[in-house]
Amino acid sequence: MDDRGLAGRRASAIVNLQAGSGRAKWKRKFGEWVAGLGNGVEILTTKQPGDATRLTQEALRRGRKLILAVGGDGTVNEVVNGFFEGEALLSEDAELAILPCGTGQDFARSIGMGAGDWRLAATLADLPARSVDAGRVRLVGPGGQPVLRYFLNIADFGISALIAQRVNRAAKPFGGRFAFYFGTLRTLFRWRNRRVRLQVDDEPEQERVVKLVAVANGRYFGGGMCVAPSARLDDGKFELVIFGDLGPWESVVRQPRLYQCRPIRHAEVEYRPCRRISAASDQDLLVDTDGEQPGFLPATFEVVPGAIQILAPMV
């Protein structure tokens, strides 16, 4: 890669060396990649949660124009949050690129990038910049404080958020897909569906018993499950997916369809477009955004059309 590549774009790489449980193989590959970058790309490594957001904000304030997120879905999510200060973009002309090497790699799948494919590094600067939507969610933090977060892929609550939290905390010796599949089975038979109140766009509030609700900008979550087959990153709306009062065995027999990116045909499963959804529950329900768990219901999710410019093969 020469100075006409990333180095010529005033790029900063935000690197999570613990992505994918800190696998040594990708650390060695990363060292080879950095050696070929040249002096024009700023390399910034994270040490703790929240660093990627802070480092992104600092880089954008210094006038950097391309932020490269090197890590998994959680790293990408933190970097995306660094593009914003409150409801405003820090830089109107800054671009995002990703080099996926984490556990789930679900956002990478939605933009046509393979996980851990280091050959992508040599061609990232040649990818077209595409405008994609973001999701914005207001929710309640662990200490009861109001929290504002952004997401590019999927926000969800219910059993899926609990599974993601458990996978994040567990060792992953066999990779992300196995970790999520095992985590799903481990959680499924202990989970009890929850009663929630939902308001979609300007429709009247409804009360439902749900297993999970996914507010989808991208298509994949949970290490390759295609939960929202019709979702698009650039259409100005979410695909809302509601898994209602399904039992554990009903979920198990239908799970293969998620990996085939096929809609589930069942009276308790609903797919529909929306731009805004509010959710509340009398029970504690964890909210997940791109594999991170920033807080709990009540929450309001809204789409931000064309929020981010991303270098990607497809959207």
Rounded distance, CA 20 to CA 177, Å? 11
Mean local confidence (pLDDT), 90-102: 89
Which of 184-188, 237-241, 296-300 has the least mean pLDDT? Answer: 184-188
Which of 147-151, 152-156, 247-251 has the least mean pLDDT? Answer: 247-251
For residue 152 the two structure tokens come to 């590019």
Residue in 242, 249, 269, 246 with CA at minimum distance from that of residue 192: 246
Residue boundaries of the structural domains of the chain = 6-127, 135-305
Kindly report the backbone phi and psi dihedral angles of residue 196, in degrees, each rounded to the nearest multiple of 5, phi listed first: -130, 160
Answer yes or no: is pLDDT of 186 > 90.
no
Mean local confidence (pLDDT), 252-261: 78
Residue in 229, 243, 224, 211 with CA at minimum distance from that of residue 273: 229
Tell me the CATH class for 135-305. Answer: mainly beta
Distances (CA, A) of 139 to 70, 122, 212, 278: 27, 39, 17, 10
The amino acid present at 127, given as its one-letter code, is: L
At 223, the pLDDT band (50, 70, 90 cuts) reads confident
How long a stretch of residues is the chain? 315
Q: Given this model, what pLDDT does residue 36 score? A: 55
Q: What share of the chain is helix, strand, coil (3-state, %, to 5)?
A: 30, 35, 35
DSSP lists the bridge partners of residue 130 as 310
Q: What is the CATH number of domain 6-127?
A: 3.40.50.10330
DSSP class of residue 193? Answer: -
Q: What is the pTM of this model?
A: 0.88
Q: Given this model, what pLDDT does residue 3 score? A: 42
